[in-house]
Amino acid sequence: MTDVAPRTVRRIGSPAAAALADLAAIFDDLQTVLLCCERLVTELRPGLAKQLDETVVEALWTTALISYSRCFAGGERGMGLTEDDVEGLELKGEKLAWHRMLRRLKKHYADPAANPREVFTVGVAVADGVPAGVAITSARQDLVDEQTVRQTGALAFALSKLVDARIAEHQATVLEGAQALSAKELETLDEIEVTGDGAPPPRPEDEEGGRA
């Protein structure tokens, strides 16, 4: 590759480019999981002057679960992660069982018909053998704990390294295809407006706080 700064960016519509875009989206979701886990560890860690914000904890954990599960959506191009990918990670412990547990939790937290926070029960208040009123009781569900968050972050970090390697492979394939195009063919491709500094997203090995 050349070190000359590009003047324009052209859209590539090849299957390899589409697959690369899918991988980039998966990588972004895994980074979201890691960021949520890092924030959750901070929120859950006890502090003398800090009051636990259960709304923030639920929001972060729900986002982490949904983002994690989205990485395993098959999609038309089959770039989604699989259980074989999880099983092949160099992590100790029951990683596949943990993965499946996270998928089940996602269904629970994202269920539009169920409240993940509390279970409500309605009863009748009885006085002197006759109904005197209606009582609504609730049982609060436990919040996610720090150990669960840390193990989820470790799994997401390992998967992000796997996806990053696949991104590098697909980048090489896309570049090889683009280099085969003539200058005239390149000019026919749609131009993509680029904002910011154009820097690529950080790779897992560059993330100092990558592990939850």
Domain borders along the chain are: 15-116+143-206
Cα–Cα distance measured from residue 89 to residue 114, given in angstroms and rounded to the nearest whole number: 33
Average confidence score pLDDT of the chain:
82
What pLDDT score does 201 carry? 53
Cα–Cα distance measured from residue 138 to residue 122, given in angstroms and rounded to the nearest whole number: 9
Residue 100 vs residue 187, higher pLDDT? 100
What pLDDT score does 21 carry? 87
What pLDDT score does 204 carry? 53
What pLDDT score does 1 carry? 46
Cα–Cα distance measured from residue 45 to residue 42, given in angstroms and rounded to the nearest whole number: 5
Contact 70, 29 (CB under 8 A): yes
Contact 159, 89 (CB under 8 A): yes
Cα–Cα distance measured from residue 37 to residue 31, given in angstroms and rounded to the nearest whole number: 10
Mean pLDDT throughout 61-87? 91
* Percent of the chain residues past pLDDT 70, beyond the cut: 77
Q: What is the DSSP letter of 10?
A: B
What pLDDT score does 208 carry? 43
pLDDT bucket at 11, cuts 50 / 70 / 90: low
38-52, 123-137, 169-183: least confidently modelled range: 169-183
Residue 37 vs residue 175, higher pLDDT? 37
Amino acid at 100: R
Residue 102, pLDDT above cutoff 80? yes
Mean pLDDT throughout 119-127? 87
Contact 71, 80 (CB under 8 A): yes
- Per residue in 22-65, pLDDT (tens digit) is 999 999 999 999 999 999 999 998 765 568 888 999 999 999 99
Residue 8, pLDDT above cutoff 80? no
Which range has the top average pLDDT, 39-53, 69-83, 165-179?
Answer: 69-83
What pLDDT score does 210 carry? 43
Contact 212, 152 (CB under 8 A): yes
Can you give the pTM of this predicted structure?
A: 0.77
pLDDT bucket at 84, cuts 50 / 70 / 90: very high
